[in-house]
Amino acid sequence: MSTDLLGKLIIGIFAVFGLIVVAFLIVNKFTNKKNTKFVASLVEGTKTKKFSNEIMYQKIYIFLVKIPFLRRYILKIRRRLEIINLEDEYLTRNQTAKMMTKAIMVVIPLTILIILFTKNNLVLMATLLLFELFFVESFIDGLVDKVDNKLLKEQVDMFSEMRHAYHEFNLVEEAVYEVAQNDELDVSRQAEKIYEILISDDPEMELEKYYDVAPNSFLKEFAGISYLTKEFGDRQDSDGASLYLKNLNNITQEMQIEILKREKLDYVFQSLAMIAALPILFLEPIKNWALNTFSFTSSFYEGKTGFLVQIILIIITFICYILVRKLKDNGSVDTGRDMQNPWEQKLYKKKPIKAFIDKIMPKKDTKEYRLKIKLMKESATKLKMEWLYIDRCMYAILGFLISLFVFWQLHNLTISYIYEEPKADYNLLGMMSEKDEKKAYAELEIHNKYIEKFKSDKNVSRDTILNNIKEDEYYKTATDEEMESAADWIFEDLKTIQNEYLKWFEFLISFGVGAIAYYGPIWLLMFQKIMRQMEMENEVMQFQTIILMLMKIERVNVEMILEWLERYSNIFREPISKCVNNFESGPWEALEELKEDVAFPQLIRIVESLQSAVEKIPIRQAFDELDTERAYYQEKRKESNERLISRKSLIGKFVGFAPMVSLFVGYLIAPLCIIGLLSMTDAFNSMSNMM
Tell me the per-residue pLDDT of 83-135, one tens digit each, with 9 for 90 and over: 777 767 888 888 888 888 888 888 888 888 888 877 777 777 777 787 777 77
3-class DSSP state of 256? helix
Q: Is there a contact between 659 and 279 (Cβ–Cβ < 8 Å)?
A: yes
pLDDT of residue 330: 46
User: Which residues, in sequence order, are bridge partners of residue 294?
Assistant: 430
pLDDT of residue 538: 78
Q: Is the pLDDT of residue 40 over 90?
A: no
Greater pLDDT, 401 or 5 = 401
pLDDT band per the 50, 70, 90 thresholds, residue 683: low
Residue of 159, 168, 170 lying closest to 194 (CA atoms): 159
Greater pLDDT, 34 or 142 = 142
Q: Is the pLDDT of residue 27 over 70?
A: no
- Residue 577, judged by CB atoms within 10 A of its CB (0-12, 13-18, 19+), counts as middle
Which of these ranges, 330-344, 391-405, 448-462, 528-542, has the smallest mean pLDDT?
330-344
pLDDT of residue 393: 93
pLDDT band per the 50, 70, 90 thresholds, residue 685: low
Greater pLDDT, 401 or 60 = 401
Which of these ranges, 377-391, 418-432, 465-479, 623-637, has the smallest mean pLDDT?
418-432
| C-alpha distance from residue 123 to each of 504, 531, 663 (Å) | 24, 33, 17
pLDDT band per the 50, 70, 90 thresholds, residue 517: very high
3-class DSSP state of 375? helix
pLDDT digits (tens, 9 = 90+) for 527-584: 888 777 777 777 888 888 888 888 878 778 888 888 888 888 877 888 888 888 988 8
Q: Is there a contact between 31 and 59 (Cβ–Cβ < 8 Å)?
A: no
Q: What is the C-alpha to C-alpha distance for residues 317 and 657, in angstroms, rounded to an integer? A: 10
pLDDT of residue 339: 57
pLDDT of residue 467: 81
pLDDT digits (tens, 9 = 90+) for 216-226: 888 888 888 88
- Residue 167, judged by CB atoms within 10 A of its CB (0-12, 13-18, 19+), counts as exposed
- Average pLDDT for 175-190: 84
* Other beta carbons less than 10 A from residue 180's beta carbon: 21
Q: Is there a contact between 132 and 114 (Cβ–Cβ < 8 Å)?
A: yes
Q: Is the pLDDT of residue 511 over 90?
A: yes
pLDDT of residue 691: 57
Q: Is the pLDDT of residue 190 over 60?
A: yes
pLDDT band per the 50, 70, 90 thresholds, residue 426: very low
pLDDT band per the 50, 70, 90 thresholds, residue 396: very high
pLDDT band per the 50, 70, 90 thresholds, residue 394: very high
pLDDT of residue 510: 92
Residue % of the chain over a pLDDT of 70 = 85
Q: What is the C-alpha to C-alpha distance for residues 360 and 368, in angstroms, rounded to an integer? A: 12
**Angle value at C-alpha 402, between 399 and 405, nearest 5 degrees:** 150
Residue of 449, 522, 457, 444 lying closest to 495 (CA atoms): 457
Q: Is the pLDDT of residue 21 over 60?
A: no
The three state secondary structure string of 576-616 is: HHHHHHHHHHCHHHHHHHHHHHHCCHHHHHHHHHHHHHHHC
pLDDT of residue 570: 79
pLDDT of residue 347: 87
User: Which residues, in sequence order, are bridge partners of residue 236?
Assistant: 242
Q: Is the pLDDT of residue 400 over 90?
A: yes
- Average pLDDT for 271-300: 80
Q: Is the pLDDT of residue 462 over 70?
A: yes
- Residue 463, judged by CB atoms within 10 A of its CB (0-12, 13-18, 19+), counts as exposed
- Sign of the C-alpha dihedral computed for residues 210, 212, 214 and 220 taken in this order: positive
pLDDT band per the 50, 70, 90 thresholds, residue 429: very low
3-class DSSP state of 59? helix
Q: Is the pLDDT of residue 516 over 90?
A: yes
Q: Determine the residue type at 475.
A: Y
pLDDT of residue 50: 45
**What average pLDDT does the structure give for the chain?**
79
- Average pLDDT for 586-615: 84
User: Which residues, in sequence order, are bridge partners of residue 430?
Assistant: 294
pLDDT band per the 50, 70, 90 thresholds, residue 77: confident
pLDDT of residue 514: 92
| C-alpha distance from residue 592 to each of 556, 571, 577, 578, 609 (Å) | 21, 19, 14, 12, 12
